[in-house]
Amino acid sequence: MLKIGLIREGKIPSDNRVALTPAQCKWISKNRTDIAVMVQQSNTRCYSDKEYRAAGMEVKEDMSECDILLGIKEVPANILLPGKTYLFFSHTKKLQPSNQKLLQTIIQKSITLVDYECLEHEDGTRIIGFGFFAGVVGAHNGMMAYGTRTNAYHLDRVNSTKSLQQLIHTYFGLKIPPVKIAVTGSGRVAHGILEVMNLLGIHEVEPDHYLSKEFVYPVYVHLKAANLYKASDGSLYSRDHFHEHPAAYECLFKKYLAHTDILMNGVYWEKNIPRLFEMEDLSSKDFRIKTIADVTDDKLGSVPCNLGDTSIENPIYGVDKT
């Protein structure tokens, strides 16, 4: 019998997500008698141990008898069990130096790692990754942060609501000042950001109008890759060529710095892709941006003032522009 274990999140701050819900575990047990699901005790999951027990799952501390272990975030190197197969987001695909030791330990302990980030459909699109709701949450929290900073309006933390419908109700009657918002990206994250823009009644404008006009109502511009990058030799943007040779391109976002109050970043980034701006741009008198919601969350990545992870309890920090 194959034994699957849902492990407790060991990274601090702890993530409350889980790979399988109690209902999914119950379905597996009912339909696959050759598979057993065990759950490691946890008091931080979005589902309680009691809910898993009610679904018929064994909840215990020791996961050593499991063949496959499912987590969400990086598993601390010191608690990795040798010889097991793990599934989690390792954050090593982009050669992040902060997780070099983790990858070395995985090799040393003869562990098979299946990184969610590397799972793809036949057409090359990711199966699991930041998606629509990451964009929704990131955009909401970005708008909340701007309102808190400027005292222009108030939004509750997104984790205080129980559903998207409840979140939508918090937007009724909300008056957003005439801010200009830049939304980057064209994937699932960006679509989540755009959903919040639409729910808030913020008007979309074309890039040329965004750069040349001021408005008496809030607006946003949606900047896809073709709006953000051009080849250094002056040729037009080509998606395939860009992904094969990102270093041959330069970013065009700097012209938006003087016209943007809020940046909602949903663009894909790797180390050879030009950043949206550089740290020295922060001190420029033309740097108008007051709030950045970096939903893609690459430390020192496309948004260079992303200094690393925050916590659910305290998700916002300030950056000294000087």
In the chain, where does DSSP find H-type helix? 22-31, 49-54, 100-108, 132-150, 164-169, 188-199, 207-212, 225-228, 239-244
Token pair in block for residue 118: 């590397």
> Using alpha carbons only, what angle is made at residue 164 by residues 218 and 206, rounded to the nearest 5 degrees?
30
User: Residue for token digits 């992303």?
Assistant: 306
Burial of 190 (0-12, 13-18, 19+ CB in 10 A): buried
In a domain, 317, yes or no: no
What confidence score (pLDDT) does residue 249 get? 95
Same domain, 102 and 149: no
What confidence score (pLDDT) does residue 12 get? 77
Query: What is the helix (H) or strand (E) element at residue 95, kind and residue range?
Result: none
**End position of a domain, from candidates 86, 118, 150:** 118
- pTM attached to this predicted model: 0.74
Mean pLDDT of 150-159: 91
Mean pLDDT of 55-78: 95
Higher pLDDT, 312 or 30: 30
Token pair in block for residue 94: 């982009």
Same domain, 227 and 102: no
- State the CATH number of the domain containing residue 114: 3.40.50.720
In a domain, 299, yes or no: no
Domain that holds residue 258: 132-294
In a domain, 17, yes or no: yes
Same domain, 104 and 137: no
Residue 298 has pLDDT above 80, yes or no: yes
Quick check: 207 and 227 in contact, CB under 8 A? yes
In a domain, 197, yes or no: yes
- State the CATH number of the domain containing residue 235: 3.40.50
pLDDT band at 235 (very low <50, low <70, confident <90, very high): confident
What confidence score (pLDDT) does residue 85 get? 98
Same domain, 238 and 91: no
Cα–Cα distance measured from residue 306 to residue 300, given in angstroms and rounded to the nearest whole number: 5
Same domain, 111 and 151: no
Spell out a b/e string for 277-294, using b for 16 or more CB atoms within 10 Å of the CB, else e: beeebbeeeebebebbbb
What confidence score (pLDDT) does residue 4 get? 98
**Percent of the chain residues topping a pLDDT of 90:** 71
pLDDT digits (tens, 9 = 90+) for 177-219: 999 999 999 988 999 999 999 999 999 999 999 999 999 999 9
Sign of the dihedral through C-alpha 99, 128, 133, 221? positive
Same domain, 99 and 196: no
Q: Using DSSP, state whether 254 is helix, strand or coil.
A: helix
Cα–Cα distance measured from residue 300 to residue 169, given in angstroms and rounded to the nearest whole number: 35
Same domain, 162 and 62: no
Mean pLDDT of 101-120: 92
User: Residue for token digits 């937007």?
Assistant: 171
Q: How many domains does the chain have?
A: 2
In a domain, 108, yes or no: yes
